[in-house]
Amino acid sequence: MTWTINEPMVSIRDVYKSFGAFEVLKGISLDVMKGEVICIIGPSGSGKSTLIRCINALNDIQKGSILVEGQEVNDPKLDKLELRKKVGMVFQQYNLFPHKTALQNIMMAPVRVLKQDKAEVEKIARELIRKVRLEGKEDAYPGELSGGQQQRVAIARSLAMNPDVILFDEVTAALDPETVGEVLQTIKLLAEEGMTCILVTHEMAFAREVADHIYFTDRGVIVEHGPPETFFSEAKDPRTKEFLSQIL
Amino acid sequence: MRTTTLKSVLPVLLPAKAKSGSLFSFRLKLWHGIILLCICLLTSTAGFAQSDPIKASVFEILLRWMPLLLTAFIFNIAISMLAMGIGTAAGTVLGLGQISPNAGLRKFCWFITQFFRNSPWLVLLFFAMFLLPFEFSIGGIDIPLPDWLKATIGLSLPVMANMSEIVRGAVNSLPSGQWEAAESLAYSRRQTLWLVILPQCVKRMLPPWMNLYSILTMATVLASVVGVSEVMTTTGRALASEGGRPDLLAPFYSFVLLIFFIYCYPIARWTVYLEKKFAVKG
């Protein structure tokens, strides 16, 4: 099966996932087209993070289908490494490799995993450092960088693999308020360049600004979704209304 | 009293203490060595005052035997280094086996680790001495297996088991986010282990590994029980050839203790230094 650009890049259909007896996802479906930015919002424990971790097979699912560019993720024969070359991910806790410098963190995967030419990768990595506005921090170790700087290195590290879609798992949740802005700015830049992004976030103002589509999840189901213009002003479901009234 | 309690008003806010040294709680201190030196000197000179003027002084006898004792001690160090090498290599493999995704292999390696870690070192030494052949042949060539080599293999078994736990502990002490980050960047398991996990483990493993080496060095004297000509065996022979004089016992054995101390103390100091250094950076 070949995927065409008119079909959703990521297509999630009726996904069920449980940890033991606890059912986290209860029939989630959503589509993401190429170049789209979607935001998943909702209260803690509603399964947002679990959902996006299923997209790059960090978590497996019990039932349903996840297609990434036509490739079924819920398949025991899935080549996870091939899938993950297409799907980048940025974590809440940055998860940079502390024994490597910022530049090495960015270069390692393209050189070791994709077996690309080292000099070529270094050129790209230096450009990416500039793009996330960390010039001069190439040789700094993660421990020497602020949370916001580390997170931007993590974004650059993900970009160096040249993925088709990037998953952002509450990437500003662990940051100091004053560094949140610089990370959001970087994500916005990617969105404007046409990168397909799936974000789990609590930053409502940001979601409203960059998202093409917003999904609200609660207790493992999508309660309501829509484009930001209508989602924030015309929420219909009482659970969405209550959540938005608490946050906004 | 009041001021001392005030210092720790909020103990919950203190950073967690590094646990790397908890595997073995014994630690050499400088005063151990000073006491040993005093015993050695006092007993050898005190013996001089008591002894018959015709007989050589205790101190002279000790000096005469010193080169032989030191040579024998070098043999102890050689055994310890070889046993450490074998034990570290085998223990690393076993430790990695303990974190294998294959449940069968994991359980097997866990069992081997627990078996050798919970057996007395001396029993393992006897086990190796009497169950290993005195020679074996590979491709028609007979390779002799001398006693000291058998003892080395016997001592490397508990080292292997402890090393296996050090490796497993170090790998498990890393945050799971490191695995996830590597996985999400399409690293294979092998690449994750060798490029991301193990390089970070080395400095966590170094202090307990050096501690283990100290323990092993001190345990090499067990080889005397099975007749290997190391420092304890040599000391016993020296004392016997001096006619089993009781006034020689204290100076000779405290001298042996002293050379072990001189060898192991710097290692202990260095371990403490590394633990402190790594505890800050984390």
Lowest mean pLDDT among A171-185, B110-124, B156-170, B178-192: A171-185
Contact A113 B183 (CB under 8 A): no
Q: What is the pLDDT of residue A109?
A: 95
**Cα–Cα distance, B91 to B29 (Å, whole number):** 29
Chain B (191-210) residues lying within 8 Å, Cβ to Cβ, of chain A: 191, 195-196, 199-200
pLDDT band at B282 (very low <50, low <70, confident <90, very high): very low
Average pLDDT, chain B: 85
The residue ranking higher by pLDDT, B274 or A161, is: A161
- DSSP tag of A168: E
Q: What is the mean pLDDT of residues A44-50?
A: 88
pLDDT band at B57 (very low <50, low <70, confident <90, very high): confident
Contact A108 B178 (CB under 8 A): no
Q: What is the mean pLDDT of residues B260-270?
A: 91
Contact A97 B184 (CB under 8 A): no
Closest Cβ opposite residue A109 in set B180, B186, B282: B186
- pLDDT surpasses 60 at A110: yes
Q: What is the pLDDT of residue B52?
A: 56
Q: Are strands B135-138 and A196-200 parallel, antiparallel or unpaired?
A: unpaired
- Smallest Cα distance from B175 to chain A, Å: 9
Boundaries of every domain in chain B: 53-129+144-277
Contact B200 A98 (CB under 8 A): yes
- pLDDT surpasses 60 at B51: no
Reference A99, options B214, B171, B273, B202; nearest CA is B202
Q: What is the pLDDT of residue A158?
A: 96
* Model pLDDT for residues B60-70, shown as the tens digit of each residue: 888 899 999 99
**Cα–Cα distance, A82 to A60 (Å, whole number):** 16
Contact B187 A158 (CB under 8 A): no
pLDDT band at B186 (very low <50, low <70, confident <90, very high): very high
CA distances (Å), origin B182, targets A105, A109, A113, B259: 10, 8, 10, 48
- pLDDT surpasses 70 at B21: no
pLDDT band at B28 (very low <50, low <70, confident <90, very high): confident
Contact A89 B199 (CB under 8 A): no
Q: What is the pLDDT of residue B97?
A: 95
Q: What is the mean pLDDT of residues A72-77?
A: 91
Lowest mean pLDDT among A45-59, A73-87, B132-146: B132-146
Reference A213, options A39, A83, A86, A47; nearest CA is A39
Closest Cβ opposite residue B184 in set A84, A99, A143: A84
pLDDT band at B18 (very low <50, low <70, confident <90, very high): very low
Residue type, B50: Q
Q: Which CATH superfamily is domain B53-129+144-277 in?
A: MetI-like (1.10.3720.10)
Q: What is the mean pLDDT of residues A159-171?
A: 95
High-pLDDT (> 90) share of chain B, %: 56
Taking any CB pair shorter than 8 Å as contact, residues of chain A touching chain B are 56, 58, 80-82, 84-85, 87-89, 91, 93, 95-99, 108-109, 112-114, 143, 154, 157-158, 161
Judging contacts by C-beta atoms under 8 Å, the chain B residues touching residue A87 are 184
Lowest mean pLDDT among A118-122, A213-217, B132-136, B222-226: B132-136
Which segments of A45-145 are extended strands (E)? 63-68, 71-72, 87-90
How many other CB atoms are found less than 10 A from the CB of residue A135?
10
Q: What is the pLDDT of residue B26?
A: 63
Q: Which residue of A has its CA nearest to B186?
A: A81
**Bridge partners for A11 per DSSP:** A31, A67
Q: What is the pLDDT of residue A6?
A: 85
**Cα–Cα distance, B55 to B173 (Å, whole number):** 62
Phi-psi category of A99—alpha, beta or left, where left has phi over 0 and alpha has psi -120 to 50? alpha
- Smallest Cα distance from B272 to chain A, Å: 22
Contact A95 B186 (CB under 8 A): no
**Cα–Cα distance, A71 to A9 (Å, whole number):** 10
Q: Which residue of A has its CA nearest to B197?
A: A97
- pLDDT surpasses 80 at B15: no
**Cα–Cα distance, A93 to B176 (Å, whole number):** 11
* Model pLDDT for residues A86-104, shown as the tens digit of each residue: 999 999 999 999 999 999 9
* Cα dihedral B185, B190, B195, B198 sign: positive
